Amino acid sequence: MEASLTARDRVGIQDFVLLDAYTSESAFLDNLRKRFHENLIYTYIGTLLVSVNPYKELDIYSKKQMDTYMGVNFFELPPHIYALADNVFRTMLSEFNNHFILISGESGAGKTEASKKILQFYAVSCPSTRLLNNVRDRLLLSNPVLEAFGNAKTLKNDNSSRFGKYMDIQFDHQGGAVGGHILSYLLEKSRVVHQNHGERNFHIFYQLVEGGEEELLRWLGLERNCQHYSYLVQGDCAKVSSINDKSDWRTVRKAFSVIDFSENDIEHLFGIIASVLHLGNIKFEADTRGYATLSHNQEMQWVSKLLGIPAQVLQQGLTHRKIEARTEEVLSPFSVEHAVYARDALAKAIYGRTFNWLVNKINESLANQDSSRKMVIGLLDIYGFEVFNVNSFEQFCINYCNEKLQQLFIQLTLKSEQDEYEMEGIEWEPVPYFNNKIICDLVEEKYRGIISLLDEECLRPGEATDLTFLEKMEEKIGGHPHFVTHKLADQKTRKTLERGDFRLLHYAGEVTYCRFFPFLLKVMRQSKNAIIKHCFPSTEPDSKKRPETVVTQFKSSLVGLTDILMSKEPWYVRCIKPNEAKQPGRFDDVLVRHQVKYLGLMEHLRVRRAGFAYRRKYEIFLQRYKPLCPDTWPNWRGTAAEGVRRLVKHLGYKSDEYKMGRTKIFIRHPRTLFATEDAFQVCKHKLATRIQAKYKGYRVKGDYMKQREAATKIENCWRGLMARKEREKRAWAVKVIKKFIKGFMTRNQPACIDNSEYLAYVRQNYLTRLRENLPKTVLEKDFWLTPPPIMHEVSQILKKLYIRHMVRKYVRGIAPQRKAQVQSTICHAQLPPTFTRTLCYSVPVVKYDRNGFRPRLRQLIFTQEAAYLVEEAKIKQRIDYSSLKGVSVSNLSDNFLILHVTCDDIKQKGDLVLQCDYLFEALTKLCVVTDKQNCIKVVMGSVRFDIQPGREGFVDFKSGQESMVYRAKNGHLTVVGEELRQY
């Protein structure tokens, strides 16, 4: 209630009791529509829950939502089916009494889904043990089984319950689910043999045909095609986009295993379902005398096999009637029409009794093993009021059931309200409402009601027809204001009635309403199918006794249901269908108005108001609104009733605006409560601001004091620590400086205690500087760091070792006579005199052509200005050092080098690809002559070179045991060599 007050302007009124114009249907519909368009499908009328089917998935049923609503006050959170379920559960535990939840509404309004949500909530919220979890799983999985056998697609709903279901959930004193029991009412058996256009048979038939395993279908004699079975195609919609028969079949099979159905039970059960399909395919033909005979015997053989009945006996039962005449029995043959009727009657009876067996079997699985007293919450998912173009016998029974439940609903609502007023000492003000007792009497009154007349007509001698029954009703109840026939109607009404129809004026509107042969009982008793034998016991009364009609049996079961409900505390969920097209977001005012009328929501609202819009216990009212009065804020020391009296006096309530009961305050008008709530919201913000300011100041001051104290402690500790470190550092520095000075003064004396550390420092300092200033090349070997006197001898040894290492590294592999060879090569080269004057170095090389990579012997000569590639006395190519971009070598022992030069003119030659046996020597000399220490680049893998401007080539270096040079298929020069070892 409190939550609904604060949200009333944004999403309408969450509780219709607070609707100011509570007598206006238009205001009621406006509020419902406003909430529906905001996806708020739940609204309260007191503790009654109104649910509008959204026809789409809403994210309001998660485990998190369940946890939110567990143990919370009913009106504390927005309306939800979880709030109702939780309140019923907690009330049961606190009061130790039994309750029931009546879920009603039109077909397609969401009754079955509401029932599922309540079961799922209890499955999560109840205590969990291994035994309780087993019971919980059986309760949950009984739903898909009953839906498969009892639900079907209709014009109004793809998953319409074609039977009424009342389920008792049994709880122990701790709230654990320990058992359950199911009662079923009026299964629509006629659907087994006939469906209107756009409708289907019961789901299980399609699930078996579409989802059954191949081996199972072969054993049952079925084909995976619904079109082959007469009982499945009359509605011409075997396939429905919103239904997945294969997936539903797997769910049903899993449910059977959890509910403890034996393999034998399942085998017999599916055998019966298949036998019904085969029965529907049995055809009859007329013989020469007009009697019915079977047109072919294959389907009969399958029925005989699956039901365990001799084929001859079954065939005789479908084509003959046994007449008992004193001491003898005579077989009377059927016409084709009667044989078809007998076949369909047998199919309906088999399915109807099997459904009852299935419910009883589930009840055995759900039975509570503990015989001690348990508390119960009942769930009644009953068919809604139905009006079709053609309304059959089933619709008559369904609408009669809704009349009785509406009567019960008003009685229980009036009674609970009147009891509350009497308990609180408030004078009860009579509430006008439509009493539908007159309609219930019209149907069920003894000797004069429609049911009594139907019983009498069905059991009288002679042939009873619809017309004879209509004549009897016109004779007995012709003057009733809620009964109309073609004969009794005025001229205008007759145009809307056929001669064989009759019309009842129900509380929800006007509805126009447009046997199984005993011999077949004896035939079915011969069955070897365990389920059929159970459904057709030999102890069943025979045809000599006067049987009850179906409608009388239904009336008796309805009376039993009424007794059950009267013994429990009621809770209500009213489901509303917003449109006939099942479209999300569409709200049909005419359709919703009609449902609001026949669900009795306006009557319930008027009863719930009964002159007072709001009632709340004194403690709760005072706790919420005490900030509005200085006398009650912040704490009230007296009784809650006296505090409320002081509070409403301060707020200026007039005497006719409220009443004080024994434990509750009653407020007459919503506007009074809204004014109080608005004042509370303003006051709440002011109080919140003051409390927030005080609290923030307190927290900030406390934090500041803590921070200041901590800062002071940290500062003291840090200063002391730093002072101690500074003192220690100074003392150490003085000591070190003294030692250094003393060591310096005695540095030339033999090593002793005074100068040992200084001398060690000198040695370490020299070695460190030497490491950083070692010669980088052989050419720099004469540059050596001057040592101090103490390190002179050691320095000479290190210098010799290092030079030897460098010489070994760069000269290793060069023959001793190499110098003479180089000098001889330079002298004998037939070069111009200008070359010989500036010549620095010469070495023989193998030059690889740029096109084709053919090897050519050449001489590489370095002068002061340029490098030359010479063949005898002919200069092949001149390379100025200024145009030399770099030199590429590999990390292998292949002796290859590539001289990269700048090519600006297309006529110029490109890079040189050479192989030199004295590679290290040539590279060292090149670096010295060109003064380019960093021009050499060691490459791995592949290197690119310019053949000429705009053309490029590649040299690929590969590691191998054997040295090779060849041109690869990709046009690259491939060089294979060993990896160089490190020295």
Residue 638 among the catalytic residues: no
C-alpha to C-alpha distance for 302 and 221, rounded to whole angstroms: 7
C-alpha to C-alpha distance for 682 and 668, rounded to whole angstroms: 23
- Residues 264-292 as b or e (16 or more Cβ within 10 Å = b): ebebbbbbbbbbbbbbbbbebeeeeeebb
C-alpha to C-alpha distance for 367 and 378, rounded to whole angstroms: 15
C-alpha to C-alpha distance for 390 and 304, rounded to whole angstroms: 36
In Å, what is the CA distance from 248 to each residue of 146, 149, 206, 915? 12, 12, 10, 82
Q: Does 106 count as an annotated binding residue?
A: yes
Q: Does 109 count as an annotated binding residue?
A: yes
DSSP-based three-state secondary structure for 536? coil
Residue 161 among the catalytic residues: yes
C-alpha to C-alpha distance for 572 and 124, rounded to whole angstroms: 22
Residue 108 among the catalytic residues: yes
Q: Which of 437, 426, 436 is nearest to 609 (CA)?
A: 426
Q: What order do you get walking across the sheet with 614-617 strand by strand?
A: 614-617, 664-667, 658-660
Residue 543 among the catalytic residues: no
Residue 160 among the catalytic residues: yes
Residue 384 among the catalytic residues: yes
Q: Both tokens of residue 171?
A: 């709880």
DSSP-based three-state secondary structure for 894? coil
DSSP state at residue 964: E
Judge contact between 35 and 11, C-beta under 8 A. yes
C-alpha to C-alpha distance for 25 and 597, rounded to whole angstroms: 9
DSSP state at residue 390: S
Catalytic residue among 161, 365, 842, 895: 161
Pairing of strands 614-617, 509-513: unpaired
Q: Does 105 count as an annotated binding residue?
A: yes
Judge contact between 941 and 957, C-beta under 8 A. yes
Q: Which of 892, 814, 899 is nearest to 848 (CA)?
A: 899
The CA dihedral of 384, 390, 392, 397, to the nearest 10 degrees, is 30
- Residues 594-622 as b or e (16 or more Cβ within 10 Å = b): bbbbbbbbbbbbbbbbbebbbbbebebbb
Residues in the chain: 983
Q: Which alpha helices (H) appear in 773-858, and where do they start and end?
A: 792-811, 818-828, 833-838
Judge contact between 404 and 451, C-beta under 8 A. no
Q: Does 198 count as an annotated binding residue?
A: no
Catalytic residue among 12, 108, 179, 378: 108
Catalytic residue among 31, 107, 184, 974: 107
C-alpha to C-alpha distance for 340 and 284, rounded to whole angstroms: 7
Judge contact between 470 and 500, C-beta under 8 A. yes
Catalytic residue among 386, 417, 603, 921: 386
Residue 107 among the catalytic residues: yes
Catalytic residue among 47, 53, 151, 160: 160
Catalytic residue among 104, 112, 527, 676: 112
Judge contact between 783 and 811, C-beta under 8 A. no
DSSP-based three-state secondary structure for 286? strand
In the numeric block, the tokens 């600006």 are attached to 904
Q: Does 317 count as an annotated binding residue?
A: no
Q: Which residues have a Cβ under 8 Å from the Cβ of 79 and sit 6 or more positions away?
A: 4, 14, 15, 40, 42, 43, 44, 49
C-alpha to C-alpha distance for 230 and 976, rounded to whole angstroms: 85
Q: Give one word for 941, left, alpha or beta, with left for phi > 0 and alpha for psi -120 to 50.
A: left
Q: Which of 557, 535, 552, 553 is nearest to 166 (CA)?
A: 557
Catalytic residue among 176, 235, 352, 384: 384
Q: Which alpha helices (H) appear in 167-241, and where do they start and end?
A: 203-211, 214-220
Catalytic residue among 4, 47, 98, 157: 157
Q: Does 12 count as an annotated binding residue?
A: no
C-alpha to C-alpha distance for 323 and 519, rounded to whole angstroms: 9
- Residue 276's identity, in one-letter code, is V
Q: Which residues are annotated as a binding site?
A: 105-112
Catalytic residues: 107-108, 112, 157, 160-161, 384, 386
Q: Which residues are annotated as a binding site for ATP?
A: 105-112
